[in-house]
Amino acid sequence: MVESNGPKIVIALWAMSAISFLFIALRFFCKARHTNRLGTDDAILAIAWVFALIYAAFMTESVRWGLGKHSTNIDAADKIPMYKNLFVGEFFALIAIPTSKTSFAVTLLRLVAKNWQKWFIWFVIISMNVVLWLCGILLFIQCKPIEKNWRKDMPGTCWNSDIQDNYSVFAGAYSAFLDVVLATFPCVIIWNLQMGKREKVGVISAMSLGFLAGITAAVKTSFLPGAGNWKDPIYSLADLLIWSHAETAVTIVASCIPFFRVLIKNTTSKGSKPYRHSYRLESFHNTGRRQKHHGSVDVGDDMSETSILRNAVQGGAIVKMNEISVEYHVEKPTKA
């Protein structure tokens, strides 16, 4: 029996694709139920998942032609479609990573109140996309003509593999660093809000799961040094390919989890309905005419977390508003 890492690659990629799809579906359900709308960050996250899905499809096709086997067990004619699918697939993996992180950054943009925070997040978005999209472009232009990337025996030239290796290590390290930055930012934004400490800790913890994406990016980057000089790269690429997909999948999952807090809270408190408190406000104007104002307030809503879920942004900042109603009566002064 021919030894191959191909089945491991296919199972891992499609399992992560399915799990990340489940989390996206639950995120959309939560937002549709509690906000009745989807935002730009949702669309970007869906695009990232599609890129990751395309990557999984190309890798599956590459495995069909021999990816994961030892080079000596692959027919020379099969190596051309194998390498072609591999290179195209890797490009989609590289652009899926910054796209998924951009979605979370756009979510943070809705919450920030200060100009420096907005500018900083925009810097993260732009620099991250430039660095990682360039990594994907370099994957193709390292050989001239481009076709030489998968037709090794055709005339042409290629850069020294160390150039691509070194830049890939830099891009991977930068991606991991930005994961940590984005995961830390919710603490900066939320800690000074008018919320209870428990609610603050809960929301910050949910929105800081990007640390897991940073860990995944670091693990993936650890496989990159010297990859271009592997003796049997077709067989040895399995772990790198799997962790490349894992970085996007973990980022998608981490971006979706914060939106589940209200759903979980509503589920665990099922049967505890909010109650309506009526109030009456009587007042006198200078004319001495009495005016009555009637209204009601719903009590029992999670005013902090639900407001964040609903993107309750006022004047660029999240605002928690408590309304206090007072009933009073003013006697008209009597003449002596």
245 within a domain of the structure (yes/no): yes
Size (the chain), residues: 336
198 within a domain of the structure (yes/no): yes
pLDDT of 258: 81
pLDDT of 267: 53
pLDDT of 66: 92
Cβ contact 279:323 at 8 Å = no
Cβ contact 160:143 at 8 Å = no
User: Which helix H or strand E contains 138, and what residues bound it?
Assistant: helix 115-141
Cβ contact 305:320 at 8 Å = no
307 within a domain of the structure (yes/no): no
pLDDT of 195: 66
Tokens 């009597």 — which residue?
Answer: 334
Residues 154 and 286: their CA atoms lie apart, in Å, by 94
pLDDT of 189: 76
79 within a domain of the structure (yes/no): yes
Mean pLDDT for each 10-residue chunk of the chain (336 residues)? Answer: 88 96 91 78 95 97 93 89 94 95 90 86 95 92 90 86 87 92 82 69 74 89 78 88 94 86 58 42 42 42 42 41 44 54
CATH code at position 254: 1.20.1070
313 within a domain of the structure (yes/no): no
Cβ contact 309:35 at 8 Å = yes
The beta strands (E) that lie in the chain are given as 143-144, 157-158, 275-284, 290-299, 313-314, 317-318
pLDDT of 117: 87
170 within a domain of the structure (yes/no): yes
3-state secondary structure of 293: strand
Residues 157 and 165: their CA atoms lie apart, in Å, by 17
Overall domain count for the chain: 1
pLDDT of 277: 41
Beta bridge partner(s), residue 317: 314
236 within a domain of the structure (yes/no): yes
Domain extent for 106: 6-265
pLDDT of 228: 66
Q: Which two tokens stand for residue 15?
A: 């399992």
How, if at all, do strands 157-158 and 143-144 pair? antiparallel
290 within a domain of the structure (yes/no): no
3-state secondary structure of 324: coil
Asked whether the whole model's pTM tops 0.85, one would answer: no
